[in-house]
Structure 1
């Protein structure tokens, strides 16, 4: 165990030494601190990566504008990178130093809170602290949509997709709009139903989610794409329709909550 720790420290040390070597940012992912190479915020980025609280404070006190600097490729801030890398210590420091919690990046228009809600593996403390420091619980992705990226997630929609019930409950308790629907017809309910997160779906229904709206629209696949009427969204698929098509194994939580949803719909006169 001690040897593994020593090896880990050596690897981290080598990584930090090599991070000053210029890189082609084309291949860097959005959570890579080297995105800040050759920018005014590079020294701050290294301090954040190292979780060097004193260095972070020193740099931010001298140059407060750097705390919200957005790297040029994705437009991510250092606050967002601490979320993506799950570094709670520097994350808290940046918040205390008044990092803007509502900045959207330039890649898909997402924010730190939407990111914090977008993975079931993330520590819920990040989302809770962001809201405490003023993050908008009804935020939505902004900006031009790219091919293959037709979503416009909100924090609640993101959390609903992950199946994190505790996070969903937290967002709802803080005023998240359960029935927000983006221009693609997506909502928190549809996001959870489409990936069979029925426990989330049931909770949302119990708290006022609109069960009468279509979950999605199914195109007529017998018609070639190029011949389809662009104004025809297709056949509306309602919650009951989707549940009939989705098979869940008996003796699973998925099946249990699916049946609870069916009972809920029956109580509303929907078979």
Structure 2
């Protein structure tokens, strides 16, 4: 924090400068390492929260991917983000959280009204995405909401159970079958 304040006080650096490899801004980097106070300071000093990296991911998507709940709360409090915004693979923040085993983030986003019915560019819903990562607790939670079709198929014709089987997650396959999956 001390170093960030010093660099900002010198006024020589562009607060929205980009790293070459992924086109990340300092705000995106602070988000990815879950540094809430640096995130707040950068935003206070004019960092643009809506910029996207090389993959089309904004800071909200990144905070959900890494499970930074407090940073996500802060971003949503700015009232500039659509909670169902899209990024890489046309995925939503909810899908990113499910894909990267961020169960608490999944619950938080659902509590804030994230749309469970959306699908990504491959036709995967949040259940398909959760089955890729294999987080049984998140899958149980999603199914407990009674809004997802357990046998929904993506554009390749795969169900969540088929994705779990392909990923060699037998515990998920067994659970989904117990829940009525075909």
> SS at 2:15's partner residue?
helix
**Unaligned segments of structure 1, at least 5 residues:** 1-47, 143-150, 218-235, 249-253
Q: Which residue of 1 aligns with 2:85?
A: 139
* C-alpha contact 1:116 1:124 (8 A) present in aligned 2: yes
**Count of aligned pairs between the two proteins:** 178
> SS at 1:51's partner residue?
helix
- Give the drift of 1:167: 0.6
Following TM superposition, the consecutive aligned residue runs of length 4 or more in structure 1 with deviations greater than 6 angstroms are none
1:212 is aligned, of 142, 145, 151, to 151
- How far apart, in 1, do the equivalents of 2:160 and 2:21 lie? 40
Q: Which residue of 2 aligns with 1:190?
A: 128
**Unaligned segments of structure 2, at least 5 residues:** none
Q: Call closer, same or farther: CA 1:70–1:136 in 2, change over 3 Å.
A: farther
Q: Which residue of 1 aligns with 2:62?
A: 115
Q: Which residue of 2 aligns with 1:102?
A: 50
> SS at 1:189's partner residue?
helix
Deviation by residue 1:91-148 (Cα, 9 ceiling, x = unmatched): 111223343222212x2111112111223xx542222212222333212115xxxxxx
2:159 is aligned, of 234, 238, 244, to 238
- How far apart, in 1, do the equivalents of 2:141 and 2:159 lie? 18
* C-alpha contact 2:91 2:121 (8 A) present in aligned 1: no
Q: Call closer, same or farther: CA 1:90–1:238 in 2, change over 3 Å.
A: closer
RMSD in angstroms over aligned alpha carbons? 3.1
1:159 aligns with 2:97: yes
Higher relative contact order by CA 8 Å / sep ≥ 6: 1 or 2?
Answer: 2
1:56 aligns with 2:8: yes
- How far apart, in 2, do the equivalents of 1:97 and 1:51 lie? 11
Deviation by residue 1:25-72 (Cα, 9 ceiling, x = unmatched): xxxxxxxxxxxxxxxxxxxxxxx78232x6536739xx9xx4334445
Which protein is bigger by CA-based radius of gyration?
Answer: 1
> SS at 2:119's partner residue?
coil
